[in-house]
């Protein structure tokens, strides 16, 4: 085991898969000599060469279209969007072409799109987006969102080996703030399987990405200061959802908070809430509660951004409301 950061885990996962499989190659803006905007691919060009670490033009449509073409002829491209926000430029390629390849032609489309997402870095409205809900609605994608270095490495390796297009949401605020133990041996985290990060008996928090850490902090406060036992379920995969894990947690606790950083309206928390209501209604002792960002663009001002985003304090308040119901 090695203790490494979240961003190091992603980098190591990419490196190992490129060493393991010659069909894996990287595409993106400034990923070569510069090593990527966040230095995930630092040193890759020197080791793997320019045929496998491809510095692209500033055109997300071209990157995603080329990646799709490479995937359908047997390569395993990993396309990086410098910021997840910029995927909108290539939205048509992904939604109209990539997502429907298997449905239309009955062939694999093994590609990964890395999406550095999320706020909390004072990046303003063009560098802070959480785009998962757009693609959650579109059949044909798998979507993963790791919260820990262990999961980050295991899921990038699993995504590269998968024969479907996988959208890999990596939260920028976690890059160098979160460390954890990661095996130095080969392993994957199975796509479609969530994880109970903390067991509890009174309330379930269903969450993913950066919100997992806020939920764990809030759960600690609720246990120590209020005697309330909170279970924290890390989805890890958003599509397909691990509904068995979700329903099992809800039936154990009877009260549920669904938490995500994305804007509350139209976020995937609404779908999770509907599924819980439909399948676990008899087990509920309170209405399902949701927490997310306010329905505005992400502010640039640190003070406004803090007000805009969900945080540990807001999670605690929501948990207190549920406990008192």
Strands 166-171 and 142-144, sheet pairing:
parallel
310 conformational bin, left if phi > 0, alpha if psi -120 to 50, beta if neither: beta
Spot the catalytic one: 106, 127, 137, 171.
127
Q: How far is CA 118 from the centre of its chain?
A: 9
The pair of three-digit structure tokens given for residue 172, joined into one six-digit string: 């920028």
Mapped onto helix, strand or coil, the DSSP state of residue 182 is strand
**H helix or E strand, kind and range, residue 315:** helix 312-324
The pair of three-digit structure tokens given for residue 186, joined into one six-digit string: 């080969």
Contacts of 213 (CB under 8 A, 6+ apart): 147, 174, 178
User: What whole-number distance in Å separates Cα of residue 21 and Cα of residue 114?
Assistant: 18
Distance, first Cα to last Cα, the chain: 43
As a 3-state breakdown, the chain gives helix, strand, coil percent values, each rounded to 5, of 45, 20, 35
Strand residues in 33-165 grouped as ranges (E): 53-55, 76-80, 112-117, 142-144
From 209, 206, 135, 142, select the one nearest 171 (Cα to Cα).
209
By the 8 A CB rule, do 243 and 275 touch?
Answer: yes
By the 8 A CB rule, do 13 and 152 touch?
Answer: yes
127 an active-site residue? yes
Active-site residue set = 127
């Amino acid at each position: 085991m090695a203790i490494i950061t979240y961003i190091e885990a992603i980098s190591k996962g990419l490196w190992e898969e490129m060493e393991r499989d010659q069909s894996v190659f990287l595409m993106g803006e400034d990923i070569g000599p510069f090593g990527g905007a966040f230095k995930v691919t630092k040193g890759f060009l020197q080791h793997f060469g320019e045929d496998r670490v491809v510095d692209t033009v500033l055109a997300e449509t071209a990157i995603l279209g080329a990646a799709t073409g490479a995937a359908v002829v047997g390569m395993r491209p990993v396309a990086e969007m410098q910021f997840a926000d910029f995927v909108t430029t290539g939205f048509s390629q992904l939604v109209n072409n990539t997502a429907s390849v298997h449905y239309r032609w009955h062939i694999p489309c093994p590609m990964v799109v890395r999406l550095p997402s999320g706020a909390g870095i004072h990046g303003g409205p063009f560098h802070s987006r959480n785009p998962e809900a757009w693609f959650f609605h579109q059949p044909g994608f798998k979507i993963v969102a790791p919260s820990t270095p262990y999961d980050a490495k295991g899921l990038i390796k699993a995504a590269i080996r998968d024969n479907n297009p996988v959208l890999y949401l990596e939260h920028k605020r976690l890059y160098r703030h979160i460390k954890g133990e990661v095996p130095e041996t080969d392993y994957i985290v199975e796509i479609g399987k969530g994880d109970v990060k903390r067991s509890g008996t009174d309330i379930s928090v269903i969450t993913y990405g950066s919100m997992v850490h806020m939920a764990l902090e809030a759960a600690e406060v609720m246990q120590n200061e209020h005697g309330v036992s909170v279970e924290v379920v890390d989805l890890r995969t958003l599509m397909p959802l691990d509904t068995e894990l979700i329903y099992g947690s809800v039936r154990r606790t009877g009260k549920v908070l669904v938490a995500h950083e994305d804007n509350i309206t139209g976020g995937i928390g609404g779908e999770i809430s509907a599924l819980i209501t439909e399948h676990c209604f008899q087990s509920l002792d309170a209405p399902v509660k949701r927490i997310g960002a306010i329905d505005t663009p992400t502010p640039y001002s640190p003070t406004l951004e803090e007000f805009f985003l969900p945080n540990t304090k807001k999670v605690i308040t929501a948990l207190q409301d549920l406990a008192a119901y």
